[in-house]
Amino acid sequence: MQFLMLVYNDDTLLEALPEGEFDTRMKACFDHADELRRDGKLLGSQQLESARKARSVRIRDGRTQVLDGPFAETKEVLAGYNILEADSLDEAVRIASEFPWARTGCIEVRPIRDIDAVRARVGG
């Protein structure tokens, strides 16, 4: 089964880290990701630029609205994602808990839907 691991961080907590701590955590994160890749558990990952560089697009009643940044009242913003291969949701949650970013934000783990099955069901 595949799972999407969404990594959210609170910039306030990241900025409060002692000098060099972010880099130490990032290095540990890369090392751990390399281990998971070798074990076939990490299929892909990517970091995102700051939410300040994001745009949110909505179309309502035929009117397009583009807003700066994510449109949410939250301190935690999406910082990146990982695609995991795991035997169960419990295993995916365990893997997510090994990443340091759960201490400065939140890691959401969601099963990835089989889009080919959906396509076949709707005749797409």
> pLDDT tens, 37-52?
999 999 999 998 887 7
Please tell me the distance from the alpha carbon of residue 11 to that of residue 4, in angstroms, as a whole number. 22
pLDDT above 90 coverage of the chain, percent: 67
- Whether the full predicted model's pTM is greater than 0.85, yes or no, is no
> Hey, what amino acid is at 86?
A
CB atoms within 10 A of CB 35: 12
Which segments of the chain does DSSP mark as H helices, in order? 11-15, 21-38, 89-97, 115-122
Between residues 76 and 105, the one the model is more confident about? 105
> pLDDT tens, 62-103?
999 888 876 666 678 889 999 999 999 999 999 999 998 988
If 0-12 CB within 10 Å is exposed, 13-18 middle and 19+ buried, where does residue 104 land?
buried
> Hey, what amino acid is at 84?
L
